[in-house]
């Protein structure tokens, strides 16, 4: 999982071209989520976050570390999302559906979990059939 995260962030930081397999996309999402939880816990322990408490609810808003992490991961998140959509022969611009609450999110979730097209599509070769795949690269 960490290898996928490093591959997306350091080797494909702003690469919006080509295709990304489901494993590359979802392991990156999982690693990003876990990293943000760790950063939030650290901020909470150091008193860096903003806390809002009422009689029946509690809200924590991240501090500067969370904001810096989100800023640093914005471009690679959009890039791997575009490549994931390319794998299903869809335009990366469909990520603008994030703007539409609930319906847009559900549509994108469905697109992201779909299996990629077999063979070459307009965005490149099938990453499953390449002699050089993300998984092979990560094992080196």
Indicate whether 140 pLDDT > 50.
Answer: no
Distance CA 76, CA 72 (A): 8
Query: Where exactly are the structural domains of the chain?
Result: 2-129
- 62-108 pLDDT, tens digit per residue, is 788 999 999 999 999 999 999 999 999 999 999 999 999 999 999 99
CB 25 within 8 A of CB 12: no
**By CB neighbour count within 10 A (0-12 exposed, 13-18 middle, 19+ buried), where does 135 fall?**
middle
Q: Name the percent of the chain lying above pLDDT 90.
A: 61
Alpha helices in the chain (DSSP H): 2-6, 22-46, 64-87, 103-113, 134-139
The model's confidence at residue 35, banded by pLDDT at 50, 70 and 90, is very high
Q: Name the percent of the chain lying above pLDDT 70.
A: 87
């Amino acid at each position: 999982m960490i290898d996928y995260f490093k591959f997306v962030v350091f080797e494909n930081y702003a690469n919006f071209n080509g295709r990304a397999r489901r494993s590359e996309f979802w392991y990156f999402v999982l690693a990003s989520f876990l990293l943000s939880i760790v950063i939030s816990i650290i901020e909470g322990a150091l008193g860096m976050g903003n806390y809002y408490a009422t009689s029946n609810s509690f809200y924590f808003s991240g501090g500067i570390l969370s904001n810096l992490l989100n800023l640093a991961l914005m471009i690679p998140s959009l890039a791997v999302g575009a490549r994931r959509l390319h794998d299903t022969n869809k335009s990366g611009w469909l990520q603008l559906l994030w703007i539409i609450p609930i319906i847009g999110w559900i549509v994108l979730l469905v697109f992201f979990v779909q299996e990629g097209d077999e063979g070459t599509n307009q965005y490149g070769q099938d990453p499953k059939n390449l002699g050089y795949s993300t998984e092979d690269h990560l094992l080196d």
